[in-house]
């Protein structure tokens, strides 16, 4: 029943991680790589590897036809898309099926239902999941947007319907600024996602970002793996994530509400495989659906750490048709875990990506530390891809232990020759605000300003 060979349609740490899971299970692996990645660790991590074109993703990692041709030629039975790239691409998921390959993820219909974020709001609402007050679907023109914004009350958030990775989003605090935000989000949506559609949401002040991991098999059984909190963000993008959420841990009824809502939203679209339902949660504990990511998420390791569930392993088993044998009542939260995203970027210069050459690279080997990385010593970090070079996951019996382990490990991590946010992360973990988990999604940016960067 299990697959014998799987193609990994991704790069970096996630391709390495998937290759490791495949190796552990005795499943053959096929990697693809761009010309810029010929020496990348993910190429060596797999049994076989094939070049799919020049550095830009549009000419390599997004070359659907060539990737599928390689899968067929090498006798792979399934394709794991990782996150980003082709992971939420309905046409690719469909093309896999047409080519006789299993797409390791949800059905194309489920990806489609949640892919348009304006439409996803309606879907979630219909499933009885509270959504942020906002427009019913896309806004068509500036007058309509102004009317809706007025009725919601400022500040509002303009969002690209096709958005992801914090791109195509703008907070508007007064009417005069709405038109410009609409134009810029339409432009970003068009250039980054090929979709100029935008919609409006009420901007929830100082919220927390809390999300629920779900897993569903093909036999109608699904579970949630509790929540993660990802409120430490810059530019609407996560930098430090943790499980469980310290905010939710003291509010059992909130955990019940969030996890029920996530399962309802997923069930309502016949969801299969791993997925994440994201919420913003107000300081008053009110929670609102913002989107569903129909794929594996960057921060899934913190959930693996506190539940002991191998999420990628289950993705493979579920895609191969196996029943999910985990029962909800058997799942418990053990301890706490914190993930730090290590980026090739300069915290002193607005977190600008900073490509460069890595000299020595020595991940820490310490108790309670897991490092997922896609780079190594003597390696070039190029400007073509996401600047995240490693994830450091610290776990322990409680949050304070996980925090001090993460700080020690960041200290011990040797990354020579490259500017990274490593010491910045260590500093952030050492603040009183982090220790008290008294943060919200705009705290990190306020902290950066206050510390004079």
Site track 78-117 with Mg ion (rule: CB under 5 A), x = hit? ----------------------------------------
Output b/e per residue, 249-271; b: 16+ Cβ within 10 A.
beeeebbebbbebbbbbbeebeb
User: Could you say whether residue 60 binds ligand ADP (CB under 6 A)?
Assistant: no
- Decide which of ligand ADP, Mg ion, none touches 405; Cβ closer than 5 to 8 Å per partner kind: none
Binding partner at 203 among Mg ion, ligand ADP, none, C-beta below 5 to 8 Å by kind: ligand ADP
Which one of residues 3, 33, 61, 83 is an interface residue with ligand ADP (CB under 6 A)?
Answer: 83
C-alpha span between 79 and 441 (Å, rounded):
34
Q: Which is nearer to Mg ion, 14 or 371 (CB)?
A: 14
Per DSSP bridges, beta strands 336-343 and 388-396 are: antiparallel
Q: What track of x and - describes contact with Mg ion for positions 266 through 285 (by CB under 5 A)?
A: ------------x-------
Residue 143, token pair as written in the block: 């007058």
Q: How many residues are listed for the chain in this entry?
A: 453
The nearest distance, CB 210 to ligand ADP, in angstroms, is: 9
Binds 238: which of ligand ADP, Mg ion, none (CB < 5-8 Å by kind): ligand ADP
DSSP-assigned letters across all residues of 127-171: TT--B-SB-SS---SHHHHHHHHHHH-SSEEEEETT--TT-SEEE
- Residue 9 to residue 15: CA distance in whole angstroms: 8
d(CA 63, CA 52): 7
Classify residue 381 by burial, with Cβ atoms within 10 Å: 0-12, 13-18, 19+.
buried
C-alpha count within 13 angstroms, C-beta hemisphere, residue 426:
12
Which residue among the candidates 208, 228, 272, 295 is catalytic per the annotation?
295
CA-based nearest residue to 278, from 338, 229, 223: 229
Residue 48: how many other CB atoms lie within 10 Å: 15
> Of 279 and 439, which CB lies nearer to Mg ion in the complex structure?
279
Q: Which does 92 bind (CB under 5 to 8 A by kind): Mg ion, ligand ADP, none?
A: none
Question: According to the binding rule CB under 6 A, does residue 34 interact with ligand ADP?
Answer: no
Among 56, 130, 137, 165, binds ligand ADP (CB under 6 A): 165
d(CA 60, CA 82): 15
Q: Residue 209 binds what, of Mg ion, ligand ADP, none (CB under 5 to 8 Å, by partner type)? A: ligand ADP
Q: Which residue of the chain is nearest ligand ADP when measured via CB?
A: 164
- Spell out, one character per residue from 290 to 319, where the chain touches ligand ADP: x when CB under 6 A holds, - when not: xx-x---xxx--------------------
Q: Which helix (H) or strand (E) holds 362?
A: strand 361-362
Handedness of CA 403, 405, 408, 409 (dihedral sign): negative
With 0-12 / 13-18 / 19 or more C-beta atoms within 10 angstroms meaning exposed / middle / buried, residue 450 is exposed
CB of 280 to ligand ADP, least distance (A): 5
Q: How far is the CB of 46 from ligand ADP (least distance, A)?
A: 20
Q: Does 237 bind ligand ADP (CB under 6 A)?
A: yes
Size, binding site for ligand ADP by CB under 6 A: 28
3-state secondary structure 91-103: HHHHHHHHCCCEE
- Please identify, using beta-carbon distances, which residue of 379 and 443 lies nearer to ligand ADP: 443
| DSSP letter (8 states) at residue 37 | G
Site string for ligand ADP, 94-133 (x = CB under 6 A): --------------------------------------x-
Q: Which of 112, 116, 201, 242 binds ligand ADP (CB under 6 A)?
A: 201
Active site annotation includes 295: yes
Q: Where do contacts with Mg ion occur on this chain (CB under 5 A)?
A: 278
Q: Where do contacts with ligand ADP occur on this chain (CB under 6 A)?
A: 83-84, 132, 157, 163-166, 193, 201, 203-204, 207, 209, 233, 236-238, 278, 280, 290-291, 293, 297-299, 386, 441
Point out the residues that are catalytic: 295
């Amino acid at each position: 029943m299990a697959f014998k060979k799987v193609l990994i349609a991704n790069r970096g740490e996630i391709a390495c991680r998937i290759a490791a899971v495949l190796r552990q299970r005795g499943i053959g692996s096929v990697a693809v790589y761009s010309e810029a990645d010929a020496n990348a660790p993910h190429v060596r991590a797999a049994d076989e590897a094939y070049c799919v074109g020049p550095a830009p993703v549009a000419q390599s990692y997004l070359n659907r036809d060539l990737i599928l041709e390689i899968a067929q030629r090498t006798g792979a039975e399934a394709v794991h898309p990782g996150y980003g790239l082709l992971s939420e691409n309905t046409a690719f998921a469909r093309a896999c099926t047409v080519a006789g390959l299993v797409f390791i993820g949800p059905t194309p219909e489920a990806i489609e239902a949640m892919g348009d974020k304006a439409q996803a709001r309606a879907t979630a609402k219909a499933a009885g999941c509270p959504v942020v007050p906002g427009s019913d679907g896309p806004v068509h023109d500036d007058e309509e947007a102004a009317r809706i914004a007025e009725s919601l009350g400022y500040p509002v958030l303009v969002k690209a319907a096709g958005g992801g990775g914090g791109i195509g989003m703008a907070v508007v605090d007064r009417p005069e600024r709405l038109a410009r935000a609409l134009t810029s989000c339409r432009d970003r949506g068009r250039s980054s996602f090929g979709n100029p559609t935008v919609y409006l949401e009420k901007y929830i002040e100082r919220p927390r970002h809390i999300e629920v991991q779900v897993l569903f098999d093909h036999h109608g059984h699904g579970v949630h793996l509790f929540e993660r909190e990802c409120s430490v963000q810059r530019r609407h993008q996560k930098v430090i994530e943790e499980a469980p959420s310290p905010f939710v841990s003291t509010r059992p009824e909130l955990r019940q509400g969030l996890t029920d809502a996530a399962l309802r939203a997923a069930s309502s679209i016949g969801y299969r495989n791993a997925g994440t339902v994201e919420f913003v949660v107000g300081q008053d504990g009110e929670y609102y659906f913002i989107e569903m990511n129909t794929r594996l998420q960057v921060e899934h390791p913190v959930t693996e750490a506190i539940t002991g569930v191998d999420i990628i392993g289950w993705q493979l088993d579920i895609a191969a048709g196996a029943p999910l044998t985990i029962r909800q009542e058997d799942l418990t939260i053990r301890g706490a875990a914190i993930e730090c995203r290590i980026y090739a970027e300069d915290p002193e210069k607005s977190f600008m990506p900073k490509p460069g050459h890595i000299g020595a690279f020595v991940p820490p080997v310490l108790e309670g530390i897991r490092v997922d990385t896609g780079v190594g010593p003597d390696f070039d970090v190029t400007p073509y891809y996401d600047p995240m070079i490693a994830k450091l996951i610290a776990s322990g019996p409680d949050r304070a232990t996980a925090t001090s382990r993460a700080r020690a490990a960041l200290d011990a991590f040797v990354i020579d020759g490259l500017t990274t946010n490593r010491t910045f992360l260590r500093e952030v973990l050492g603040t009183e605000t982090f220790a008290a988990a008294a943060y919200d999604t705009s705290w990190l940016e306020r902290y950066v300003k206050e510390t004079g960067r």
